């Protein structure tokens, strides 16, 4: 009876652990990409400032 109630509750809640993990990985990759862009911009600005001296 408890197992059936848990299964019914889970099916109604609609939260898929696999889908949540996929979304988390997608956002993590986006964050890593943005960090690489910011690092490249920082390096470029450092180079430009050192040329101007």
DSSP label at 53? -
Q: What is the residue range of 11's domain? A: 2-51
Report how far apart, in Å, the C-alpha atoms of 33 and of each of 22, 30, 38, 40 are. 17, 5, 9, 11
Among residues 9, 27, 43, 26, the alpha carbon closest in space to that of 51 is found at 43
- pLDDT by residue (tens digit) across 1-53? 888 887 777 666 667 788 899 999 999 999 999 999 999 999 999 999 998 77
Domains in the chain, number: 1
Q: What is the pLDDT of residue 48?
A: 92
Which structure tokens are listed for 21? 């993990």
Q: What is the pTM of this model?
A: 0.62
């Amino acid at each position: 009876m408890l197992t059936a109630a848990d299964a019914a509750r889970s099916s109604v809640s609609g939260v898929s652990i696999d889908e949540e993990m996929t979304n988390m990985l997608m956002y993590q990759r986006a964050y890593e990409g943005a960090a690489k862009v910011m690092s490249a911009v920082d390096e470029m600005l450092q180079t430009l400032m050192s040329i101007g001296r």
